[in-house]
Amino acid sequence: MVGKTEVSDEQLMERVRAGDAPALEVLYDRYVRQCFGLALRLLGRDIPLAEEAVQDVFMKIWSRPDAYSAQKGKFASWLLSLVHHRCIDELRKRSRTEVPLDFEESGSRLDTEPDLQADPGDQVWMLEEQREILAALNEIAPTQREVIELAYFRGLSQSQIAARLKQPLGTVKTRVRMGLQNLRTLLEKRGLVRD
């Protein structure tokens, strides 16, 4: 198996574009836990549904590998955005925009915990990245972070967020936009996104 340090994601995607299924397998092995963790959170701990969502995303990448280009940023971020959208679509389809209570009560949705199954090298890399992202999130205003999390993890529109928080729609829109802009600036400083 090819490790992360041997072949970059972008190189693997080049091979996937050429029809190299083992290259996709390497990407699957590399990111399935991250994708599954996200899907699990978004889908209220529904394991079969989360697995289906993740597999659908990887199959979509296989079927349409040209959908990704380096201009879209890091492969991992792009991949997770696919998982996110697939899960939000699933929630909408099933009219299950409300996640179970235990998830609601689990505190911050972005707390990190060790993934004992991951390759130690990958684990260090992922934990470091998570730490940086959390640090960036903690630097933006709590009100901005709150609306971003509601939009991201619940798939709520800005109107729905405004209704839930009992805040003017304009306020919510400003918080979302400013929050993302501030977050981007912070992530750029940390080298986690690029122009």
Partner 1 sequence: MGPQDTTQSDWEDNLLDYLFGAMPPDEAARFERGLIECQEHVALAQRYTQVIGVLGTAVPPAEPPDGHKDRFMARLAVTPQERPASGLAGDSTEQPARMPGLTVVAGPTLAGETPQPAPRPLPSDGAEKPAPVDIAAARQERTRTSWAIAVASVAAALALFFGVWAFILNSNRGSGPIAPGYEALVIQPQGEYTSTAVVLFNRDTLDAHFYSSNLQPLPPDKVYELWLLPAQGDPVPAGVFTGDPAGRATHLHTADRPLRNYVGFAVTIENAPGTRSPEGPIIMAGTFQ
Round to whole Å and give the CA distance between 18 and 52.
25
Q: DSSP readout, 142-191?
A: HHHHHHHHHHHHH---HHHHHHHHT--HHHHHHHHHHHHHHHHHHHHHTT
User: Binding string to partner 1 for residues 16 to 35, with x set by CB under 8 A, is what?
Assistant: ---x-x--xx--xx--xxx-
Query: Residue 44 or residue 155: which is nearer to partner 1 going by CB?
Result: 155
Q: Is 148 in the site for partner 1 (CB under 8 A)?
A: yes
Q: CA–CA separation, 86 vs 90, rounded Å? A: 6
Length of the chain: 195
Residue 65 sits at the vertex; the CA angle it makes with 63 and 66, to the nearest 5 degrees, is 125
Give the integer Cα–Cα distance in Å for 85 and 152.
9
- Does the footprint of partner 1 cover residue 165 (CB under 8 A)? no
User: Which of 14, 51, 119, 146 touches partner 1 (CB under 8 A)?
Assistant: 51
CB of 2 to partner 1, least distance (A): 16
- Token look-up 């949705």 returns 109
Instruction: List the one residue from 8, 10, 124, 157 that touches partner 1 (CB under 8 A).
Output: 157
- The count of residues interacting with partner 1 (CB under 8 A) is 82
CA 107, chain centre distance (Å): 18
Rounded Cα gap, residues 103 and 117, in angstroms: 22
Please, which residue, 7 or 184, has the CB nearer to partner 1?
Answer: 184
Which residue in 15, 65, 99, 162 binds partner 1 (CB under 8 A)? 65
Of 13, 26, 99, 183, the one binding partner 1 by CB under 8 A: 183
Q: Is 66 in the site for partner 1 (CB under 8 A)?
A: yes
Distance CA 82, CA 77 (A): 9
Q: Which is nearer to partner 1, 54 or 99 (CB)?
A: 54
Q: Is 5 a residue that touches partner 1 (CB under 8 A)? A: no
Least distance to partner 1 from the beta carbon of 9, Å? 13
Residue 143 binds partner 1, judged by CB under 8 A: no
Contact yes or no for 98/89 (Cβ under 8 A): no
Using CB under 8 A as the binding rule, the residues of this chain from 76 to 135 that contact partner 1 are 76-86, 88-89, 92, 109-113, 115, 117-118, 126, 129-130, 133-134
